[in-house]
Amino acid sequence: MKTIFCNFLDSQDKDGTIKIKPLGKAKNSVTKPTLPGWKDVITKIVIDKKYAKGLDRIEDYSHIIVVYWMGQEKECHLKHHPQAREDISFVGIFACRCPQRPNRIAISTVELVGRKDNVLTVKGLDIVNDTPILDIKPYTPQYDKVDKPKVPDWVSRLVF
C-alpha cells in the first residue's frame, strides 16, 4: 500500500500566530452547555469528505479522543471556582477541565458507537451542536491510560 497524502488544515505565521481550520462539525440536539447529563448524549461527528479515508479502521477502537473548539465560550478565566461552585477550591484554569480557557480547545474521550462513511457516532461527548471538530485520535491505553493518577479531592465533588 502507498501512503495517501492530504493538505494540512493548519498554518503558522512568521509572528507565531497559529490558524486552524476544522475538519468537521458535531451534530446533536444540544444547544447550550449543561451540567450534568452528557454521558447519554449521542453525537454525530461529520468529517469533511476529503478526510474520510483518514477514518479507515477507526471502528476497530471502542473509544476515541475528540479535539474540538469551544467557540461559544464567552469568558476567559485565569483562576476561578470550577463549575462556579464556591465550595470547590479556587484554582488556576489549567488545574481544571473548565471551558473558560485562553485557547478554547477541548478534548474528550468518548465511546465510539459506529462509523458510516465520513460520519462517526459517539456517546457521551460534552459538546453543543455545530461545534467545530479539530482532530480525532483513537484512545490507546499505551499512550492515554495512567495507572494510579494523583487527583485533588475536590474533583470528586464536581458534577459530570
pLDDT tens sequence across 19-59:
999 999 999 999 987 777 788 899 999 999 999 999 999 99
Predicted pLDDT of residue 34: 73
Establish if 15 belongs to a structural domain. Answer: no
Predicted pLDDT of residue 5: 96
Within 28-87, residue ranges assigned H as helices are none
For residue 112, give the CATH number of its domain.
2.40.30.70
- pTM to 2 decimals? 0.93
Structural element, H or E, at residue 132: strand 132-138
> Chunked in runs of 10, what are the mean pLDDT values of the chain (160 residues)?
95 97 96 80 97 97 98 94 94 94 96 98 95 98 94 90
Question: Which residue range is the domain that position 122 belongs to?
Answer: 21-141
**Of 54, 93, 48, 51, residue with least CA distance to 75:** 93
d(CA 91, CA 41): 29
Q: How far is CA 153 from CA 82, 98, 129, 156, 158, in A?
A: 13, 17, 32, 6, 10
Establish if 121 belongs to a structural domain. Answer: yes
Establish if 5 belongs to a structural domain. Answer: no
Number of domains in the chain: 1
Predicted pLDDT of residue 36: 73
Predicted pLDDT of residue 160: 77
